[in-house]
Amino acid sequence: MQQIVLISERQPCKRSACIRTAARKRWCSRNCHCLPPVRGQVLVEVKAAGVNLFDTQLRSGLYKRDLPLTLGLEGAGIVQANGPGVGDIAVGDRVAFIFAAGSYATHTLVAAERVVPLPVGVGFDDAAAVLLQGLTAHYLATSTFALAPGMTCLVHSAAGGCGILLCQIAKIRGAEVIGAVSTPAKADIAREAGADHVVVYAAEDFAEAVKRITRGRGVDVVYDAVGLDTYIRSMNSLRARGTLALYGEASGLVPPIDPRELLFRKPLFLTRTGLDHYIADRNELRSRNRRHLRLGGARPPQAEDFCDLQS
């Protein structure tokens, strides 16, 4: 799971944030006043902020954003104030939130449609850690390419936060899972998460391993967040009419692809996904959230949590 940054308490009228400005080419902590929430927003006192690879990519400049910028896209905390038009979230509610720029702060403004309630028993740290990665794993395995019994998938970075959850959901949905990892120690983690087969990158070419495991057929889908270093061999790992689901670029950006290459190699489907398109509104966010690992639930994940959301 991802790391957690615990946020110390401050007076509710002020906030302390990690900010980068155009004039200062580094990140710094700054104290400033909290802006009141406008229509459709809530002000959240942040108790825990999720730390993701995407945050490091923003810091490095791989993805450009206008400055000044406060880091952090997800977190959990307590609602301090509501803007007009917010009817189902009350001051004092414990919540988690996603895609709210500025969670590396003591307070942040969040669109109400990006907020989910936290039931009793779910801590702020757990909520901040699981939301983005859990939702990502859920949409990949149930919507981008909906796994079913008899299917085979290749999960890159199978011992990472999202990879572990992907392996678990894939097994719940009845698929055969091939996990790819960087070290033998991570191979053990992937197996514990449910991977039927595990390939260590340094020990064996994963595309050749897939051919061996599938007896030359190839997998139905590859879930690839590595990007530059793996995408060609990921395509080679697919069966004819298989799907390559790119959802990250940990090793670098994938260059432009000539569509004819897909035809010459074999007929394939290629998609570059993003979570924001799979939680398009409040209803979809909350529906998907209720299913992915039952965040806030009182029981372990079960098959019905991952089998009834196909859009």
For 109, the token pair is 């403004």
Closest of 102, 133, 70, 172 to residue 288, by C-alpha: 133
Q: What is the per-residue pLDDT for 62?
A: 75
DSSP alpha helix (H) spans, the chain: 53-60, 124-139, 161-172, 184-192, 206-213, 231-236, 259-265, 282-291
What is the predicted pLDDT for the residue at 283? 87
**What does the DSSP 8-state code read for residue 105?**
B
Q: What is the pLDDT of residue 263?
A: 76
Q: What phi-psi label fits residue 28: left (phi over 0), alpha (psi between -120 and 50 degrees) or beta?
A: beta
DSSP string, 162-230: HHHHHHHHHHHTT-EEEEEESSHHHHHHHHHTT-SEEEETTTS-HHHHHHHHTTTS-EEEEEE-S-TTT
pLDDT for the residue numbered 56: 78
Per-residue pLDDT tens listing for the chain (311 residues) = 333 333 433 344 445 545 454 545 555 555 666 788 999 999 999 999 988 877 777 777 777 777 777 788 899 999 999 999 998 899 999 999 998 888 888 999 999 999 999 878 889 998 898 889 999 999 999 999 999 999 999 999 999 989 999 999 999 999 999 999 999 999 999 999 999 999 999 999 999 999 999 999 999 999 999 999 999 999 999 999 999 999 999 899 999 988 887 778 789 999 999 999 999 888 899 888 877 645 333 334 444 444 443 33
Q: Measure the CA–CA gap between 173 and 200, rounded to whole angstroms.
A: 24
Strands 238-246 and 176-181: unpaired
Q: Give Cβ neighbours of residue 12 (< 8 Å, ≥ 6 apart).
A: 34, 45, 80, 107
Q: Is 211 left (phi over 0), alpha (psi -120 to 50) or beta?
A: alpha
Tally helices (H) and strands (E) across the chain.
8, 15
What is residue 293's predicted lDDT score, i.e. its pLDDT? 45
Q: Please give the DSSP secondary-structure letter assigned to residue 60.
A: H
Run of H or E including 36: none
Q: Find the Cα–Cα–Cα–Cα dihedral 271, 272, 274, 277, rounded to 10°.
A: -40
* Residue-range domains of the chain with CATH: 4-118 (3.90.180.10), 133-276 (3.40.50.720)
Compute φ and ψ for 124, nearest 5 degrees: -65, -40
Say what the pLDDT of residue 13 is.
45
Which of 103, 32, 110 shows the shortest CA–CA distance to 71?
103
pLDDT of residue 305: 42
pLDDT reported for residue 290: 77
Quote the pLDDT of residue 307.
46
How confident is the model at residue 311, as a pLDDT? 31
Residue 172 has a pLDDT of: 92
